[in-house]
Structure 1
Amino acid sequence: MSLPASDVSGARLDLAGTRTFTVPGAGPVRRSAIGEYTTTWLRSLWEQADGRAPQGVALASVGSLGRGDAGPLSDIDLVLLHDGRALTERELTALAESLWYPIWDAKVRLDHSVRTLAQCRQVASADLSAAVGLLDISHVAGDAELVAGVRATIAHDWRANARKRLPQLTSGLAERHARHGELAQAIEPDLKEARGGLRDMTVLRALAAAWLTDRPHGEVDRAYARLLDVRDALQVVTGRGRDRLGREEHDAVAALLGFRDSDELLTMVSSSGRTLAYALDATLRRAGQSQRARTLRVGPRRSQLLALGYGVFEHDGEAVLGSAPAPDPVLPLRAAVVAARAGLPLAPQTLTNLAALPDLPRPWPDLARDLFTDLLAAGPGLLPVWSGLTQVGLVHRWLPAWGAVDSRPQRNPVHRHTVDRHLIETVVEAGAMVREVARPDLLLLAALLHDIGKVAGAQDHSHTGARIAHELLTDLGWPAADVDTIVTLVAEHLTLIELATRRDVGDPATIAAAWTAARSDHDTFDLLRVLTTADARAAGPKAWTDWRAGLLASLCAAVRSHAVDRAPTEVGGRALEVGPDIIESLAGGQPVVRVRSLDPGYGVEIYDRDRLGLFADTAGVLAAQGFTVRTATVRTVDDVAANWWLLETPGGDPPDGARIASGLSALARGERT
């Protein structure tokens, strides 16, 4: 039946009526109906072409209509295909005009072209985005075999040129993502072009079409469908074919989709974008591995595995398990630490295997707590590893409170990330400053949890977070004294910067307030100062300006000048005191190293002259001798560095104190080989 062209816009909107948006499964049904209606209407235009469309001519769709996911106001991308013989140029022009003009008259956005098979191949060869689009070309009307031939030929060319096209595709993705940002971290996301957006699913399909790799399914498809639902609602709310979800549309789109508020909507958008981005990254790695295998293969290809330790290996840019994992609940933490330190993501199948292992007992064993702080201390390598652990649900099993901040948006203009991403960025920033505090492990845990109270309904996220942190860390088995310190840091993490920027930093009352916030304790004050800095740096350039940094430095200097002298530090159940024997040894240029066995691992006391680079040198010496550092406590007593290191040895052999001292002496003399 022929449908009046003048009714097409209204009909497409009616198919997306508000009553259907919150019905489960309504999105695919709606998009199928839109596609069916649009295709039927286009076929009616074809039938009205008065016989100007013989065999060898066809109308085909690409873009969202070709893929079957057109929205209420999506534009239409059409290709008038011909074999070069069926019609003259004048006849082709007349046929095209009889199709395009009714579409324009209906106020529907149209992208159109007229091409032969050879021209399609030429365009696909010259334009990467056109090639990806033509992979989805679908028959609308006319010669179906012609459309099928074009589709098959384009797919064949795509597979044949995969080696050349993959680097181009990767480069193009990086450029597009740089222009449009990351969907998961944006308050006004571009649902189509951003990293993790709708166009990335098209890339995933193109990678699979190249036969280099399969693409993930399941949750990835559900995430894509959720983003399509948001796009559909956005088009209905605005009455325009838009892809950017602006602030002014948040509430209306959230209401149309049945969310309680716009924050819940943005959380879903962020989570979906993150799922798509993670899938794209993993699929690109798979495709690269497959391509290298094709290029280098001379007979059967053997896996090249580089041992990283504890049964974890590097393979083609990923960290993988060398064999089926034993049912050890600590193994996911150990593998995560190894991968993060190596700067490698955990392979998807490895993550799946790790997620299948039993849960850690509550409270956690000492080893699990040590490994967790090791993971937080891994530096920038933590980011991709944490992302993978989150995707398979391990983070949520370890930290149940994480679910409330996962992908949660922040509307404060100084913040550039969602709450969960900001927490991890703060951990990385804090990890670069661990030399400035006596308890790096407490600093990293506080950085991870300082905004854990930014949950729905919280009035004061600092004190809400302090309560959550206390419950979580107590449940996991951290010592009560350590929990109290972390709770203080979480509760007061905004105090120093607020005092520095809103009060007179020279006022005794301001100094007293800052000192009281740190429980009148030097070590806690250092932790609070570094946490404040890491928090601001992770938030973004608007939160950490030269002006704010200068005011904070002035306040901290004033507090130090009024505070009492430090007491000897105590770690591992004993005080690190600098006695006469240590002074005598250091006077002769020889560091003092004392080793004692613990369960598990070994405690190592190291006394040396305090100097720039000592912490890094010590870490390097221990790593070179094959030790894994679980935690370190760094203190200076009367210009003497009195440091405590908790080590693990893969082979179980105890550290050699004399060898460690010798290595430190050599580095102090400038011997770097």
Structure 2
Amino acid sequence: MTDVVDVAARRLDLAGTRAFGTAGSGRDRRVRLADFNREWLQGLWEEATRGQRLDWVALAAVGSVGRGDAGPLSDYDLVLLHDGRTLDAGEITRLADRMWYPIWDAGVRLDHSVRTVSQCRTVAADDLTAAVGLLDISPVAGDAEVVAAARATVSHDWRANARKRLPQLTEAMAQRHHRHGDLAQSIEPELKEAHGGLRDMTVLNALAEAWLADRPRGEVDAAYAVLLDVRDAVHVVTGRGRDRLSRDDHDAVAALLGHDDADDLLAEVSNAGRAIAYALDGTARRAGQSQRARVLRVGPRRPQMSPLGYGLFESDGEVVLGPGRLVDSDPHLPLRAAVLAARANLPIAPTTLENLATRCADLPTPWSPLARGLFSDLLAAGPGLVTVWEGLDQQGIIERWLPEWAAVRSRPQRNAVHRHTVDRHLIETVVHATGLLRGVGRADLLLLAALLHDIGKIPGARDHSLAGAPIAEAVMRRLGHHDADVRVVTSLVREHLTLIELATRRDHADPRTVDAASTAVGGDREQFELLLALTEADAVAAGPKAWTDWRAALLGQLATAVRARLDPAAPAVGEAEPAVVPHALVLELASGEPHVVVVPSGGSYRIDIADRDRLGLFADTAGLLAAEGLVVRTAVLRTVDGVAVNEWHVESPSGAEPEQERLARGLTRLASGDRGPLGLLERRRQFAARPSGTSTIGTPGQPRALVVPGASTEATVLEVRAQDRPGLLHELGMTFAKAGVSVRSAHIATYAGQTLDTFYVTDFSGRLLDPSKVAQVVAAIIDTCDGAPPRP
């Protein structure tokens, strides 16, 4: 018998690095693996049966081995089939042992069963997963007729019970997709179980086997081959039978498959997942239509068609072309169909999309006012845009409208806050922007800017905002927009990150911050409102880590200040922080007690603290909040006439509301030199979660502290970026205090576990720091972020 080492080595050798990189290598590699698997198993069968011919006894395979597309380290899913009469129970058991033990000894993962044809039928009736798997059963060795009988029986029952099994299959598929996510939108895709993964191809085949719908060919088969190639490469580079393409393996798998870089690999995987998901979703809809037709049919059934206009109809949950509609005569028909479908939140039928893509003429360049109007209507359609845009993209219609789309299609985003590929993020931004249209004067320009704001995220671009501006300008001119509108959208694309960066990293009360925001929109109030709405839509579309209550509050504060600058005659919504501390507050602080107010704010809390300024006040306040178990998300701190007026936005993981009296007592004790209130801080540091593993892949790198030149004329501005941890703000405050530096104001933000803190500091006499002092403070900050906290 073939020995253990030879079996393992042979499987990897057949799929080793030499088997990749040439045309057709994937198909040929899998054929060689399939041939080896069957030949080895047939050899084991010959030994197990001692050369006997056993009628109605056979070894069969299901799963990837049965389909002939197993990976280098895929497991074996085998069935010992028999008729229940040729061999008695003891003989069947002994035969099974003679088959299974050599496979286990070879280190091959094995899922095995022993069944009669009748038992296969029973198992398939009771277990949906088993039923789908048995549809692929194929003979390996022994009497092939018993395998054919099992397959025919299971297939017959599958078709006969399609009415009952289709809802079960649909529900199981939805649950699986919910657990494993969307393959096309994942940076670490689950190649088998995710939506658009390898298992969805078996579902496609099962739907076709039920005679409910024809399954697509061509592109979907090519996409399946791509995922098989990637799965095989994962097996080879990891030496394990994994189905997830992890970050650690991106580069090795990309190199093995001949990609220039890992992003090209991920884009190809995303495209493949999208093709399979689109095919599956459409086939499932048509299967449902077919099933309903079977149930409701009493004689010939005519399709129920509801007119939508322009020769388009709703039929069985899809938008279709009506009978006799002339496609060739109207180049605007794809836009019309898309608008109607998106507004109705319905997909366009695949056959209709194919006709629109192949038979409709291209729109003339530049576009007509009608085409521009329809395109704006499409972008304003709301959530229905997502499905309709995907169908148009799958048929290549989007690239005919926007050739630049190809460069961002399925491009991955290696940013923790982004949950989508670049192109999907752009569409999600458009959808979220539709909820903000009433706040702007030119809704069409907002939607166009939302569609194009990240169009510069192309290979080789260092600053996607700057790279995207000329691309957006070219698109706008091709669409036929006037020069003034072109300039506005180009500017919005170039500046789409400006407001959120100013809001979270700069002092809103500093005139230069407001100047920077005003300059970004050329001093134009309407353009500012467009940029503000684009900023919000972009952040919301990115995900919950990018748009939070505290970030929204900071952006709102900046917007108030900028509106006052651009339109001083208009009443401000919420006055900015007063330049003079109210007299009543001064009298309250004269007693020596700090002023503390806790305000609930949509699941978080705003804590307003005012106290007489002193060296170390910032450190004491941050340390007290950390000791109380509060997580600081943002903070705005200012010193006015010797009084610190601070606003902290915190979360309470325990769910307990911060006690303002307790906080006030703690600050009073700390001011007197009593460090007792910080007693719990060290314990919280010790029990804080620490990152697991030692890999540096995907880590943010070393802490950074840098000077922001020209940000203020009254203070030295320092920006700190580091991995957040409990008590870090307290440690930074202690660092400033030990250096004799006063924190005049600060803007604190935590973003995806990273601090983005901006400090406006002076020496204790109120002067800017000299260069030598700046160097000393920057070095101390980096040491603090990277090492042990300073002690008082």
Give me the TM-score of the superposition, normalised by structure 1.
0.83
One-letter amino acid of the structure 1 residue matched with residue 294 of structure 2? R
- Determine the structure 1 residue equivalent to 2:513: 510
Find out whether 1:326 has 2:343 as its counterpart. Answer: no
1:260 match: secondary structure: coil
Unaligned runs of 5+ in 2: 571-792
What per-residue deviation string (whole Å, max 9, x for no partner) do you get for residues 349-369 of structure 1?
A: 000010011111111111001
| Alignment partner, residue 35 of structure 2 | 36
Match of 1:227 in 2: 227
| DSSP 3-state at the match of 1:54 | coil
Q: Determine if contact 2:338/2:378 at 8 Å carries over to the other structure.
A: yes
2:404 is paired with a residue whose SS is helix
CA offsets per residue over residues 237-276 of structure 1, 9 Å max, x none? 0000000000000000000000000000000000000000
Aligned to 1:11: 10
Structure 1 unmatched runs, 5+ = 568-673
**Structure 1 match to 2:45:** 46
Secondary structure at the aligned position of 1:395 is classed as helix
Provide the secondary structure at the position in 1 that maps to 2:303: coil
How much has 1:52 moved relative to structure 2? 6.7
- The 8 Å contact of residues 398 and 405 in structure 2, kept in 1 or not, is answered as yes
**Partner-residue secondary structure (3-state), 1:114:** strand
Tell me how far 1:515 sits from its aligned partner: 1.1
Match of 2:286 in 1: 286
Per-residue deviation, residues 352-408 of structure 1 (Å, max 9, x unmatched) = 010011111111111001100100000001011000000000000100000000000
2:663 alignment partner in structure 1: none
User: 2:533 and 2:113 mapped to 1: Cα distance?
Assistant: 60
Residue 405 of structure 1 corresponds to: 408
Question: Is the 8 Å Cα contact of residues 52 and 95 (structure 1) preserved in structure 2?
Answer: no
Q: 1:331 to 1:565 in 2, by over 3 A?
A: farther
> What residue is the counterpart of 2:716 in the other structure?
none
Aligned to 2:74: 74
Say if 2:440 is the partner of 1:441.
no
- 1 CA distance for matches of 2:449 and 2:78? 56
- Which whole-Å CA distance do the structure 2 matches of 1:423 and 1:47 have between them? 59
> Using CA pairs below 8 Å that are at least 6 residues apart, which structure has the higher relative contact order?
1
Counterpart in 2 of 1:354? 356
Measure, in 1, the Cα distance between the counterparts of 2:539 and 2:215.
Answer: 38
Work out the CA distance in 2 between the residues paired with 1:457 and 1:551: 33
State the distance in 2 between where 1:563 and 1:150 align: 78
Which stretch has the larger CA shift, 552-561 or 490-499?
A: 552-561
- Map of 1:661 onto structure 2: none
Stretch moving more, 253-262 or 123-132: 123-132
Equivalent runs, 1:218-617 vs 2, <5 Å: 218-323=218-323, 324-327=325-328, 328-356=330-358, 357-564=360-567
What does residue 122 of structure 1 align with?
A: 122
Counterpart secondary structure, 1:59: strand
Which residue does the alignment assign to 2:701?
A: none
Match of 1:26 in 2: 25
Percent pairwise identity: 67
Structure 2 CA distance for aligned equivalents of residues 6 and 258 of structure 1: 30
Deviation, structure 1 residue 505: 1.4
Letter in 2 for 1:326: V
Counterpart for residue 215 of structure 1: 215
Q: Distance in 2 between matches of 1:208 and 1:3?
A: 39
Answer whether contact 1:190 1:245 (CA < 8 A) is retained.
yes
User: 1:280-329: per-residue Cα shift (whole Å, max 9, x none)?
Assistant: 00000110111111111111111100011221110000001113333211
Asked if the contact 1:6/1:105 (under 8 Å) is kept, the reply is: no
Distance 2:63 2:413 in 1: 33
Aligned CA-pair RMSD: 1.1
1:125-173 Cα distance to aligned partner (Å, 9 max, x none) = 1111110000000000111100000000000000000000000011001
Q: Does the aligned pair in 2 maintain the 1:319–1:346 contact within 8 Å?
A: yes
Task: Determine the C-alpha separation between the residues in 2 that align with 1:52 and 1:543.
Answer: 68
In structure 2, what is the Cα distance between the partners aligned to 1:203 and 1:344? 23
My pick for the range that moved more, 183-192 or 14-23, is 14-23
* Structure 1 residues 115-154: aligned runs within 5 Å: 115-154=115-154
Q: For residue 544 of structure 1, give the secondary structure of its aligned residue in structure 2.
A: coil
Residue deviations 1:514-570, cap 9 Å, x none? 111111111100000000000000000000011111110110011112222689xxx
Q: What is the distance in 1 between the residues matched to 2:154 and 2:8?
A: 32
Amino acid at match of 1:474: R
Q: CA deviation at 1:56?
A: 1.8
Q: Please state how far the C-alpha of 1:4 moved relative to its aligned partner.
A: 4.2
Change (3 A) 1:363 1:565: farther
SS at match of 1:555: helix
**TM-score of the pair, normalised by structure 2:** 0.71
Answer with 318-327 or 170-179: which moved more.
318-327
In the alignment, is the contact (CA less than 8 A) between 1:325 and 1:354 conserved in 2?
no
CA contact (8 A) 2:327 2:355 kept: no
Moved more, 276-285 or 512-521: 512-521
The alignment partner of 1:432 has SS state of: helix
Three-state SS of the structure 1 residue aligned to 2:320 is: strand
In structure 1, what residue type is equivalent to 2:25? A
Per the alignment, in what secondary structure is the counterpart of residue 111 of structure 2?
Answer: strand
| Residue pair 2:3, 2:106 contacting (<8 A) in 1 also | no
Measure, in 1, the Cα distance between the counterparts of 2:149 and 2:4: 30
Does structure 2 conserve the Cα–Cα contact (< 8 Å) formed by 1:201 and 1:224?
Answer: yes
Alignment of 1:606-645 (within 5 A): none
Q: Does the residue aligned with 1:289 lie in a helix, a strand or coil?
A: helix
Conservation of the 8 A alpha-carbon contact between 1:443 and 1:527: yes
Alpha-carbon shift at residue 466 of structure 1 (Å): 0.6
Give deviations 1:456-511, integer Å, cap 9, x for gaps: 00011001111100011112211111010000100000000000011111211101
Q: Deviations over 1:432-479 (max 9, x none)?
A: 110110000000000000000000000110011111000111122111
Instruction: Answer yes or no: is the 8 Å Cα contact 1:52–1:91 preserved in 2.
Output: no
The whole-number CA distance in structure 2 between the counterparts of 1:87 and 1:15 is 37
- 1:433 and 1:169 map into 2 onto residues whose CA distance is 39
Which structure has the bigger radius of gyration? Answer: 2
Q: Contact 2:334 / 2:356 at 8 angstroms: preserved in 1?
A: yes
More displaced stretch, 473-482 vs 222-231: 473-482
Q: Write the distance in 2 (CA, Å) between the matches of 1:51 and 1:347.
A: 56
Identify which range, 43-52 or 425-434, moves more after superposition: 43-52
C-alpha separation in 2, matches of 1:3 and 1:293: 55
Aligned partners of 2:4 and 2:107 also within 8 Å: no
Q: Distance in 1 between matches of 2:6 and 2:62?
A: 23
1:183 equivalenced with 2:183 (yes/no): yes
Tell me how far apart the structure 1 counterparts of residues 51 and 567 of structure 2 sit (CA, whole Å).
Answer: 97
**Across the two proteins, how many residue pairs are aligned to each other?**
566
Aligned to 2:58, the other structure's residue is in SS state strand
Tell me how far apart the structure 1 counterparts of residues 327 and 107 of structure 2 sit (CA, whole Å): 63
2:95 is the counterpart of 1:92: no
Partner of 1:603: none
